[in-house]
Amino acid sequence: MHQGPASKRILITSALPYINGVKHLGNLVGSMLPADVFARFMRLQGHEVLFICATDEHGTPAELAALEQGLDVATFCREQHAVQEGLAKRFDLSFDHFGRSSSPQNKELTQYFCRRLEANGYIEERLTKQVYSKTDGRFLPDRYVVGTCPHCGNENARGDQCEACTKLLDPTDLINPRSAVSGSADLEVRESKHLFLLQSKFADRIREWITDKNKENWPKLVTSIALKWLNEGLHDRCITRDLAWGVPVDRPGFEGKVFYVWFDAPIEYIAATKEWADENPAANRDWRSWWKRTGDDTGPEYYEFMAKDNVPFHTVSFPCTIMGANEGIETTGEKPWKLVDYIKGFNWLTYYGGKFSTSGKRGVFMNDAIDLLPSDYWRYYLMANAPETNDSSFTWEHFAATVNKDLADTLGNFVNRAFKLTEKHFGCVVPAGGEPGFADKDLALQTADRLREYERCLEAMEFRKAAQELKAMWTLGNMYFDRMQPWKSIKEDREQTACTLRSAIGLVRFYALCSYPFIPGTSARILEALGLRLEDETWPDGSWPHYGSESVEGRDPNWREGKVLNYSRLVEVGREFSIPGPLFMKITPEQLAEWEDRFTGK
């Protein structure tokens, strides 16, 4: 892939999947997958992209999951990281680096940010009271203390809230409190010293930042969640915990304490970039250049992808960390750290209208999905139905219908009929002869309009609409076939038919490239059938063979220089191809029934 002259630097991060267990399709479509589609689009356009993700490894759930499996937490995390990295590969998630929040780099940077914040007066020591379980030998987060609700008598109320009567609770409100970890009732309240980040001091600055002009094109979901937090009043936030697993607090009197997972997790975006640089010293990767503003220049464009549960931490908490650390940073000879330029937030993907649930094993998980079907099936379906402006519902019926109709029947079948028909009459060689006529130019113009809209949608990260445009472009190929009827014209005009089939094969190459962000595996298969390599390809634009303005001018009010591609010249005459066979297998009614049954929906 070539880097164009107008090349931009684009930093993309996906919300970090939590280490605890395999992620489900909702997690995938909410951050990692759309970020990947965007990264692939931008790379193919010739921009310099750095795409960062990592596992979020700290926190109580990781410790407890390790305990349950009889592993020490470090081993557990190492294993689970490998599992998630393997799944990311199988879904063709093209991270430049898939890091770990437990890395030394993150330890170093987390401690650094805390020091910067303290230097600027944003850190305060406070005494807190917390429940300690002697049997478990640990402090318990509020919701890991269970007992009888004083309001409704529910015997399994959690220490933060009773789920039966929805009343908010303190762990000390509970009658007969016990540990959710061991069931032990041997609990006591102990005092503990902790660090607080004085977020309340940032309220005005965060509000100003979130409401400035540049945020007007952010998803409404994102700004409204941020404003909700601001309107409720920013609380100072405890950023340390009495746990063994995490980034240690490097401060006298804080031995045995670690930073709160939500403090160190976003910093891992930066730390993972350093991991990426450190893993290949010979490449001289300048990780700071991705995270620093440089003089008047604001540095790279930075995009974050996440589901709505993550939005507060990326619109409020992490920006506080960055803003607080940046104060007076010039005096240390350092440049300021970058704030995010665009947050793409997603709603929930539901499973038959209900919640995907890891603990309840409800829904479809990445490992199960990828064992059933190749990644492109999932990638296309999920992005075409991404929960962008609203929650959206996964059902097996809908999934099967989409795969069968769009991928197998519209795209797969078009590619197959183009290859098969050419083979039948000319062999597996791109045929010579003929000249494009009215219908060819009509196809080119219509496709150009679709392509322009498709590009606009992808740039704007409107993935659902982008998928619609993509499918519409595939349909134009089928329409072209039905209009030209090469199976009929071959009997009267072999030259003209050669041109038609050559154009169809040109369309095939075109589809391989423009579909690449969504279905990279299929793109690769198509290009391979044509004897082409992705590394040599570019986004279909003016550098591709196109009609000169005189050819179509006067007929088209939407004429745009260099964008109306001449499909009869997209693949050169005489090039040999192979027939890849069906690109997509249809999902049968039997499979559908079996999967619905196995993944207990409804």
Partner RNA sequence: GGCGGUGUAGCUCAGUUGGUUAGAGCAGUGGAAUCAUAAUCCACGUGUCCGCGGUUCGAAUCCGUGCACCGCUACCA
CB of 283 to RNA, least distance (A): 31
In degrees and rounded to multiples of 5, residue 101 shows phi and psi of -70, -10
C-alpha span between 109 and 97 (Å, rounded): 17
Residue 588 lies near RNA (rule: CB under 7 A): no
Residue 586 lies near RNA (rule: CB under 7 A): yes
Contact string (CB under 7 A) for RNA, positions 447-476, x = contact: -----------------xx--x------x-
CB 408 within 8 A of CB 584: yes
Q: How many residues does the chain have?
A: 602
Residue 479 burial class via C-beta count within 10 angstroms: exposed 0-12, middle 13-18, buried 19 and up: middle
Residue 427 lies near RNA (rule: CB under 7 A): no
CB of 421 to RNA, least distance (A): 4
State which of positions 151-190 bind RNA (CB under 7 A): 160-161, 166, 168
In degrees and rounded to multiples of 5, residue 462 shows phi and psi of -95, 85
Please pick, from the candidates 398, 456, 555, 598, the single residue that binds RNA as defined by CB under 7 A: 398
Please pick, from the candidates 110, 385, 503, 523, the single residue that binds RNA as defined by CB under 7 A: 385
Please pick, from the candidates 375, 392, 497, 500, the single residue that binds RNA as defined by CB under 7 A: 392
> How many chain residues touch RNA (CB under 7 A)?
80
Please pick, from the candidates 104, 353, 542, 548, the single residue that binds RNA as defined by CB under 7 A: 353
State which of positions 101-130 bind RNA (CB under 7 A): 128, 130
CB 467 within 8 A of CB 384: yes
Q: Looking at 249-257, 283-291, 381-389, 556-564, which segment touches RNA (CB under 7 A)?
A: 381-389
* DSSP H helices in 54-122: 60-69, 73-90, 104-119
CB of 594 to RNA, least distance (A): 19
State which of positions 248-267 bind RNA (CB under 7 A): 260-262, 265
Between residues 42 and 210, which has the closer beta carbon with respect to RNA? 210
C-alpha span between 336 and 326 (Å, rounded): 5
CB 498 within 8 A of CB 432: yes
| Tokens at 46, concatenated | 């010739």
Residue 330 lies near RNA (rule: CB under 7 A): no
Residue 194 lies near RNA (rule: CB under 7 A): yes
C-alpha span between 232 and 101 (Å, rounded): 30
Q: Looking at 103-111, 208-216, 331-339, 483-491, which segment touches RNA (CB under 7 A)?
A: 483-491
Strands 187-197 and 237-238: antiparallel
CB of 554 to RNA, least distance (A): 25
Between residues 389 and 543, which has the closer beta carbon with respect to RNA? 389
State which of positions 564-583 bind RNA (CB under 7 A): 582-583
Helix axes 318-326, 104-119, angle to 10 degrees: 60
Residue 219 lies near RNA (rule: CB under 7 A): no
Contact string (CB under 7 A) for RNA, positions 490-529, x = contact: ----------------------------------------
Task: Write the CB contacts of 460 (distance below 8 Å, at least 6 apart in sequence).
Answer: 217
Q: Looking at 91-99, 373-381, 403-411, 526-534, which segment touches RNA (CB under 7 A)?
A: 403-411
3-state SS string for 546-559: ECCHHHHCCCCCCC
DSSP 411-434: IIHHHHHHHHHHHHHH-SBPPP--
Please pick, from the candidates 9, 78, 207, 237, the single residue that binds RNA as defined by CB under 7 A: 237
Contact string (CB under 7 A) for RNA, positions 267-296, x = contact: ------------------------------
Residue 417 lies near RNA (rule: CB under 7 A): yes
C-alpha span between 501 and 357 (Å, rounded): 49
Sheet holding 175-179, edge to edge: 157-158, 145-148, 175-179
CB of 386 to RNA, least distance (A): 9
C-alpha span between 250 and 544 (Å, rounded): 57
* Intra-chain end-to-end CA distance of the chain, in Å: 45
